[in-house]
Amino acid sequence: MDLSFTKEEQAFREDVRQFFRDNVPPETRRKLVEGRHLSKDEMVTWWRILNKKGWGVTHWPKEYGGTGWTSVQHYIFNEELQSYPAPQPLAFGVSMVGPVIYTFGNEEQKKKYLPRIASVDDWWCQGFSEPGSGSDLASLKTKAERKGDKWIINGQKTWTTLAQHADMIFCLCRTDPAAKKQTGISFIVFSMKSKGVTVRPIQTIDGGHEVNEVFFDDVEVPYENLIGEENKGWDYAKFLLGNERTGIARVGVSKERLRRIKELASKVESGGRPVLEDPAFREKFAACEIELKALELTQLRVVADEGKHGKGKPNPASSVLKIKGSEIQQTTTELLMEVIGPFAAPYDEHPDNSNEAMDWTAQIAPTYFNNRKVSIYGGSNEIQRNIICKAVLGL
């Protein structure tokens, strides 16, 4: 047992960090630190910088542009990326549909889609959830009917993140209405520019526009856009959801936020002294730090295990990472609210920009509101508990 990083790993961390210092556009970083939304252009610009360096699709097999890094290197890269902070690669393309295509797709599909994911020539979105199918995803109703060499798709998806920017969608569609719920589903990809696709924004409680409803009215899709086998889509979806494990805890994001809280709490005063000097606040802060340290080590245990024994089946430990990681992220946003106190209230930028700490107060309440999502998406924390019960405890 040795929990320290090797010299090579430490040097790797330094290289990664230096690259971020030299290459992340300062305005992009500032916006992330302050909890602001980035424009499509800002994100794509950064991802292309990453891809040019060869770090766009780090965990893909080398033949498709991956790095061949060890599990620990992936961990370090993710942590540095999250805590710098810089925008993470677009999960829908890089972590979700990419691995499905190179694992289950045919040669033609690999050639057609993979390079454009890496270069962000295609922005992908995920067509999974529907109005009636949230946690019970397999109950989905969007239909794809075979008609000659085409699929005709009808139905509705929802919570489609950043669909307003998307060029492509990967979609779970019911292709065999007679089959039992998990068995009649296929995994089909198509252009968001197709005739019959309508995107309607959903405004979330933070006032932002991240998610959308997407409607399909007789959308015609070439038959060859089916990935893998017909009616095997549920297996690919499970593969996809279990594939992204080590980033799920978002340890780097929480670390960065804790540093920010500390900085802010040393500037904002309460009763004539900085909030950071209030013993009650400090102890809450320390409690959060400890939970995060424990989570970081739990995550490293999963990473080390993957490095030794291969990725294999989805590891139920990822449910622990999801539950704790989301709880800690939410706690950090609560601490932010506590620091800012009454100045959480103004809906837009506070008119008094003279106080440095007040510059970004307008983003704190929205960040807090927005972060309620993290215990809901990607399989709600209650679903994660079901997974632990079934896969670990045998209940």
Please identify every residue annotated as catalytic: 244
Region class of 2: left (phi > 0), else alpha (psi between -120 and 50), else beta: beta
Binding-site size, another protein (CB under 8 A): 48
Which of the residues 223 through 262 are near another protein (CB under 8 A)? Answer: 255, 258-259, 262
* Three-state secondary structure call for residue 126: strand
Instruction: Tell me how far, at minimum, the Cβ of 301 lies from another protein, in Å.
Output: 5
* Cα 22 to Cα 151: distance, rounded to the nearest angstrom: 47
15 vs 382, beta carbon nearer another protein: 382
- Spatial contact of 91 and 244, defined as CB atoms under 8 Å apart: yes
Q: Does 382 bind another protein (CB under 8 A)?
A: yes
Residue 14 in contact with another protein, rule: CB under 8 A: no
How far is it, in rounded angstroms, from Cα 142 to Cα 364?
A: 37
Closest distance to another protein from the beta carbon of 283 (Å): 5
* CB closer to another protein out of 156 and 332: 332
Which residue's CB is nearer to another protein, number 43 or number 374? 374
Instruction: By CB under 8 A, tell whether 383 contacts another protein.
Output: no
Q: How far is the CB of 361 from another protein (least distance, A)?
A: 22
Classified as helix, coil or strand, 256 is: helix
Among 34, 230, 235, 291, binds another protein (CB under 8 A): 291
Q: Is 149 in the site for another protein (CB under 8 A)?
A: no
Contact 229/185 with Cβ under 8 angstroms? no
Count the neighbouring beta carbons within 10 Å of the beta carbon of residue 46: 21
- In a 3-state reduction of DSSP, which class is residue 354? coil
List 211's β-bridge partners, or say none: 202
Q: Which stretch binds another protein (CB under 8 A): 164-172, 239-247, 264-272, 298-306?
A: 298-306
Between 357 and 391, whose beta carbon lies closer to another protein?
A: 391
Q: How many CB atoms lie within 10 A of CB 222?
A: 11
Smallest gap from residue 278 Cβ to another protein (A):
11
Among 96, 118, 240, 300, binds another protein (CB under 8 A): 300
- Residue 119 or 298 having the CB closest to another protein: 298
To another protein, the closest distance from the beta carbon of 3 in angstroms equals: 5
Among the listed ranges 32-40, 119-127, 266-274, 384-392, the one in contact with another protein (CB under 8 A) is 384-392
Binders in 310-349 for another protein, by CB under 8 A = 317, 319-320, 323-324
How many CB atoms neighbour CB 174 within 10 A? 21
Say which residue the tokens 């929802």 belong to.
158
Q: How far is the CB of 290 from another protein (least distance, A)?
A: 5
Binding to another protein (CB under 8 A) within 50-109 occurs at: 72
CB count, 10 Å around CB of 250?
24
Q: What is the spatial distance between Cα 234 and Cα 238, in angstroms, rounded to a whole number?
A: 6
**Which secondary structure element, helix H or strand E, spans residue 22, and what is its range?**
helix 7-23
Instruction: Report CA dihedral (134, 180, 223, 99) to the nearest 10 degrees.
Output: 60
CB 369 within 8 A of CB 206: yes
3-state secondary structure (DSSP) of residue 20: helix
Least CB distance to another protein at residue 30 (A): 20
Here's the x/- map for another protein, 256-285, by CB under 8 A: it reads as: --xx--x----------------x--xx-x
Residue 182 to residue 172: CA distance in whole angstroms: 11
Residue 330 CA to residue 381 CA, distance in Å, equals 13
**C-beta closer to another protein: residue 33 or 388:** 388
Q: Are 181 and 130 in contact (CB under 8 A)?
A: no
d(CA 239, CA 102): 12
Residue nearer to another protein on the CB measure, 244 or 305: 305
Which of residues 38 and 388 has its CB atom nearest to another protein in the complex?
388
Residues that bind another protein (CB under 8 A): 1-6, 9, 72, 255, 258-259, 262, 279, 282-283, 285-287, 289-295, 297-298, 300-301, 303-305, 308, 317, 319-320, 323-324, 382, 384-386, 388-389, 392-395
